[in-house]
Amino acid sequence: MAAQLIDGKAIAEQIRQELKAEVDVLKQKYGKAPGLAVVLVGERKDSQTYVRNKKKACDEVGIVSFGTDLPETASEEEVLQVVAAYNADPAVHGILVQLPLPRGIDEQRVLDAISIEKDVDGFHPLNIGRLAMRGRDPLFVPCTPKGCLELLKRSGVQLSGKKAAVVGRSNIVGMPAALLLQREDATVTVIHSRTPDAQRICAEADIIIAACGKAEMVGGDWIKPGAAVIDVGINAVDDPNAKRGYRLVGDVNFAEAAEKAAKITPVPGGVGPMTIAMLLRNCVDGAARSFE
């Protein structure tokens, strides 16, 4: 393997230490701790795991976590009432509604109801709109793409004047990742399912962020020698030799890409741990703004 590994687990741990110190200062100065409210609707196992991990991470850095679990059968109005109560609660500085919501609940209506001052996911259209505009700043940036940029910066990857390719255009990752790279003065191409010559475009990029949700789609011949590769994907593929009968792979073929890239994130242990670290970052920033 030629590439240097970008260790998301270690970088996320370092960020949590930094945040813990910041939270201690806030507590000393204002006598209050940052608070995060997590709303979970339904019984999806993956969402339950994410929510549990988010609350545990809050505890570790001294953020107070609040939680509301609603049943699968909860109505949209009930979810909106919970959001409204957290909007009005001065002990809560960040509100996260775990996605996806059960069918029948209008996700956009729920996300739009979160106060932009507490929108730690950065999904409110006002925050996304500001992210897209030159000379304007969002209050919060979505956690996963923010984590991707943090990994690049902390690994010493220069962004200004570079060519970047983002594979995938989701509201949660691809689109905001492209906006963030552009704000750092990279020249960005967004590749999606209808893009002709996706491989050629990618192979010209100095920086690749892969977030298309397709196991190992980005092969070695998609990588420019010396590129920095950030793999957001996490896909289970059948493997009879693996302990659980499957193994986790990214959207990048790691073995092939690592032969050509200069720097690359592993899966797992790359972007994943950074998403939660950035959520904590956003929550502390929101609290600090409200205390001042």
User: Which chain residues interact with ligand GUN by CB under 6 A?
Assistant: 96-99, 121, 143-144, 172
Answer for the pair 260, 2: CB distance below 8 angstroms, yes or no. yes
Read off the amino acid at residue 105: I
Nearest of 231, 219, 230 to residue 155 by alpha carbon? 230
Minimum distance from residue 232 beta carbon to ligand GUN (Å): 11
Minimum distance from residue 39 beta carbon to ligand GUN (Å): 9
Minimum distance from residue 170 beta carbon to ligand GUN (Å): 10
Answer for the pair 85, 111: CB distance below 8 angstroms, yes or no. no
Residue among 121 and 216 whose Cβ is closer to ligand GUN:
121
Residue among 202 and 283 whose Cβ is closer to ligand GUN:
283
Omega cis (within 30) before 268: yes
Residue among 84 and 242 whose Cβ is closer to ligand GUN:
84
Q: Long-range CB contacts (< 8 A, 24+ apart) of 178-183?
A: 179/128, 179/131, 179/132, 180/131, 180/141, 180/145, 180/146, 180/148, 180/149, 181/149, 181/207, 181/209, 183/131
Minimum distance from residue 163 beta carbon to ligand GUN (Å): 27
**What residues contact 241, with CB distance under 8 A and at least 6 apart?**
none
Residue among 29 and 52 whose Cβ is closer to ligand GUN:
52
- The SS3 assignment for 161 reads coil
Which residue minimizes CB distance to ligand GUN? Answer: 99
Active-site positions? 54, 98, 121
